[in-house]
Amino acid sequence: MASEKLSSEAEVEEYLRKSLANRVSQTMYKEILSEVLKTWRKHGLYIDELKAIADEVVKRYEGSIVEPGEPVGTVAAQSIGEPSTQMTLRTFHYAGVKEFNVTLGLPRLIEIVDARKKPSTPYMEIHLVEEYSGSEDKAREVQRAIETTTVENIVKKIDIDPFTGITIVLDKEMMGDKGVTINDVSKALEKLRLGEILADEAESTISIVPKELIDFSKLEKVRRNVLSLRIKGVKGVKKVIIQRRTIQREGREVEEYVLIAEGSNLRDVMSVEGVDYRRVFTNNIREVEEILGIEAARNAIIREIISVLEDQGLDVDIRHVMLVADVMTWSGSVKQIGRHGVAGEKSSVLAKSAFEMTVQKLVEAALGGEVDFLPGVAENVIVGQIVPVGTGMVELYVKPGLREERDESSQ
Amino acid sequence: MLRSKSKKADILEHEWVPKHEVLSPEEAAEVLKELGVKPIQLPWIKASDPIVRAIGARVGEVIKIHRRSHTSGETIVYRYVVVDVE
């Protein structure tokens, strides 16, 4: 090769920057630079060779860019839809996190795109701050603070008598396990306003002397109220388990304890001592939207869909999923993608009537004096025009003055 | 409104929340001119969005969002603050 060899790393970088900067994305540039430098250190590089690499990169990159008019939505729908048929026949419910069930597979995917108010199996992933994440005892402390403990969890025996009142015998072992003292219990019981509370610490017995006779018909109800009384924990979070994970931190393998919670309450869990509020995650997308905003909800949608697909061993390009998330969050709140597409987005009368209730839709449109500007694919197929996709989208304007008007009408 | 502010749990620092930034009217006009769109054609963000409140943006302003993209490092997107209709 006739050309010169590159003499220093700086020169390689300089040359690569000149030929690639602003033509490919930042991440890509960084990656290519590191690869090129690796090769240069090993074998050296000629200017011609680097030029060939840069040209090829730009060619490939530009070839991968979406062209104007490409129906990305349709492609995304097909790219997610087809693999989804593969998972239908497999898992519906599956013990994902050992101890409790998590909806996975197609039902979960449908749930996400439907933008339900609450997932059928809400759960949270709670990371802890560094001082807590390394030790199991500390993690247990946080677990106890978050996990809901009701009277039912720690009771050995409960007697209820309309004349003498309620006697609760507590299980000491369970109390120790949950980190509850008898004082906690009596304090919580005060909220029910059943009467005077007498706690006997040695016998771990609590008796409640009612102010008046308890109505016979209400005995069972009172019993249930007492048993389901929440002593401590975060509302809405039922069971919390501790998971041990091995992660990479500063190049070393470190053990980290992570809490997985059944049920979800982002706001309250975020302010619990020991919890790293930057890394509290939930699978409840509506909750993310409400507490962390629409951009976080977008991230949640992407993450959830990808995790469902990956879990099923399906390989779907993330860009399709990102498009779905973008469309769902476009209007500032999470919109569902149902049978009618993204709710309320379809403006064409013909497209609407092509789907369901043809006559009604047409009559309604006629009564309302609606105008169809034929913006989409379906309506153009109906009237026999070229669909506005790919080259069909190209329109030529002769008079610049007309442009304004056309823009108005096609929206 | 949110307890998080006082209780050190700042939602702006959450891993899922990208950096939001309010644009001045001049910057916004420049962005819109470059993109060739009207503000209403940008993706929206509700005025009641917790992040919008946290950074104190108001209806009619344009927010610049630095997303961490899975495919291209950091990407910049814009959202237009709209009145919450629901």
Q: Kindly list the domain boundaries of chain B, sorted by start residue.
A: 17-82
Q: Give the nearest partner residue to A296 out of B14, B46, B86, using CB atoms.
A: B14
**Cβ pair B44:A330 closer than 8 A:** yes
Q: Is A26 on the interface with B (CB under 8 A)?
A: yes
Chain A partners within 8 Å of B10 (Cβ) = 277
Chain B nearest CA to A323, separation (Å):
12
Q: How long is chain A?
A: 411
Q: Given this model, what pLDDT does residue B1 score?
A: 36
Q: Is B82 exposed, middle or buried (CB count within 10 Å of its CB: 0-12, 13-18, 19+)?
A: buried
Chain B partners within 8 Å of A291 (Cβ) = 2, 11, 50
Chain A nearest CA to B49, separation (Å):
5
Report CA torsion sign: A30, A31, A34, A35. Answer: negative
* Strand, helix or coil for residue A82: helix
Nearest CA in chain A to B1: A291
Q: Which amino acid, A9?
A: E
Chain B nearest CA to A295, separation (Å):
6
pLDDT digits (tens, 9 = 90+) for A73-110: 889 999 998 888 877 555 555 445 556 777 778 888 88
Chain A partners within 8 Å of B60 (Cβ) = none
Contact (Cβ atoms closer than 8 angstroms) between residue A298 and residue A325? yes
How many whole angstroms from its chain centre is CA A224?
A: 35
Contact (Cβ atoms closer than 8 angstroms) between residue A128 and residue A257? yes
Q: Given this model, what pLDDT does residue A50 score?
A: 84
Hey, what's the torsion of the CAs at A380, A386, A389, A390, to 10 degrees?
180
pLDDT digits (tens, 9 = 90+) for A233-260: 788 888 888 888 887 777 778 888 888 8
In this predicted structure, the answer to whether residue A180 has a pLDDT above a threshold of 60 is yes
The ipTM (two decimal places) reads 0.89
Rounded Cα gap, residues A321 and A304, in angstroms: 10
pLDDT digits (tens, 9 = 90+) for A290-332: 999 999 999 999 999 998 888 888 889 999 999 999 999 998 8
In this predicted structure, the answer to whether residue B36 has a pLDDT above a threshold of 50 is yes
Q: What is the mean pLDDT of chain B?
A: 84
Rounded Cα gap, residues A92 and A401, in angstroms: 58
Chain A nearest CA to B38, separation (Å):
12
**Cβ pair B4:A281 closer than 8 A:** no
Q: Give the nearest partner residue to B45 out of A294, A299, A326, using CB atoms.
A: A294
**Cβ pair B14:A292 closer than 8 A:** yes
Left (φ > 0), alpha (ψ -120 to 50) or beta: where does B7 sit? Answer: alpha
pLDDT digits (tens, 9 = 90+) for A30-67: 888 888 888 888 888 888 888 888 888 888 888 888 88
Chain B nearest CA to A175, separation (Å):
29
Chain B partners within 8 Å of A279 (Cβ) = 14-15
Contact (Cβ atoms closer than 8 angstroms) between residue A340 and residue A354? no
Quote the tokens at residue A375.
């913006």
Q: Is A281 on the interface with B (CB under 8 A)?
A: yes
Q: Give the nearest partner residue to B15 out of A30, A278, A293, using CB atoms.
A: A278
Quote the tokens at residue A341.
């597409």
Q: Is A124 on the interface with B (CB under 8 A)?
A: no
- Reported for B30-37, long-range contacts at CB under 8 A and 24+ positions apart, including other chains, are B31/B62, B31/B64, B31/B78, B32/B62, B35/B78
DSSP β-bridge partners for residue A93: A103
Per-position DSSP letters for A18-44, written without gaps between them: HHHTTTS-HHHHHHHHHHHHHHHHHH-
pLDDT digits (tens, 9 = 90+) for A194-232: 777 777 777 777 777 777 777 777 778 878 887 888 887
**Cβ pair B74:A332 closer than 8 A:** no
Q: Give the nearest partner residue to A292 out of B11, B45, B65, using CB atoms.
A: B11
Rounded Cα gap, residues A125 and B30, in angstroms: 41
Q: How many alpha carbons fall within 13 Å on the CB side of residue A240?
A: 27
**Cβ pair B71:A277 closer than 8 A:** no
Chain B nearest CA to A268, separation (Å):
9
**Cβ pair A277:B82 closer than 8 A:** no
Chain B nearest CA to A267, separation (Å):
8
Is residue A1 very low, low, confident or very high in pLDDT (cuts 50, 70, 90)?
very low
Q: What does CATH list as the number for B17-82?
A: 3.90.940.20
Chain A partners within 8 Å of B78 (Cβ) = none
pTM of the model as a whole: 0.80
How many whole angstroms from its chain centre is CA B28?
A: 12
Q: What percent of chain A has pLDDT over 90?
A: 10
Residue of A30, A270, A288 to mutate for B, most B C-beta atoms under 10 A: A270
